[in-house]
Each structure stands twice: as structure tokens, then as C-alpha cells.
Amino acid sequence: MDFHVLCLDYRGFGDSSGYPNETGIITDSVFLFNYTKNLAGENDVFIWGHSMGSGVSIAVTMELSMKHMPPAGLILEAPFNNAIDLITQSSESVAWRWTPWFNIFIKQSVSNAGIHFNSDINIKL
């Protein structure tokens, strides 16, 4: 098929250092896209996002498009609306949603950490 795939560990995940936050993850991903585009020359570069990566991919594509540098395409696999919906609608949270502290400790912590990935808004831009 003659194509290459580049993946990254988000900051604070896997072998990457740092603390995960939406701005940093998007910055790192835009950097990887630009690096890849420079290597690819005239060849098309697509962005593919799976699950949490779909939120990142949509935000990166929005940022690149606003700078008039969009990818050749965007592929989304198992996307979600936004980080709060992802947490509240996941099967892992079923056992905890009914507890009074779920909103305070879980949802608020994600929001306070600056992790929103508002794909439902960004995809429209």
C-alpha cells in the first residue's frame, strides 16, 4: 500500500514526560503534523483519530484549517462529542454516575485540568 503511520504518546502518557492538558497535546500534535508534512513533500498527509484521539484530531484539524494548512483528510474512528460526555457515557462510569461525588470529583476534575475536547463544537468550525 506504500504508506507510513506516525503515532505519538501524548505528553504525560506512555513514554512521554510532562503533564497532559488539551493545549499541550494539540501543540504536540500540530508539531508532529508539520514535521510529517515536511517529510512527505507533495504527498498527502491525513489525520486519523481513534477514541480520545478523535478529539485531538478534530482540534488539530481545526487549528491547521484556520492557518490555511488543512490535512488532505480527517479520519475518525469511535469519536465522541466532548470529554465530559465521554466520561459520563462510558461503560466504565455506570457504577459511579449515581453517586453524589461523581460530578464534583470526576467531571469537575477533568474540566479543571483543561481537558474539554469539544469536538461537537470544533467539528462545525
pLDDT digits (tens, 9 = 90+) for 50-65: 988 999 999 999 999 9
Beta-bridged to residue 74, according to DSSP, are 47
Whether pLDDT at 95 is above 70 = yes
Helices and strands per DSSP (H, E), number in the chain: 6, 2
Vertex 44 angle, CA 39 and 47, to 5°: 90
The answer to whether position 2 is within a domain reads: no
Contact 117, 82 (CB under 8 A): yes
Average of per-residue pLDDT values in the chain: 90
pLDDT of residue 125: 63
Segment 81-94, tens digit of pLDDT: 998 888 888 888 88
What residues make up the domain containing 88?
A: 22-122
Count of domains forming the chain? 1
**DSSP structural state of residue 78:** S
**115 burial via Cβ count (<10 Å: 0-12, 13-18, 19+):** buried
Residue 5 within any structural domain of the chain:
no
Find the angle CA(56)-CA(58)-CA(59) to the nearest 5 degrees. 65
Has this prediction a pTM greater than 0.75? yes
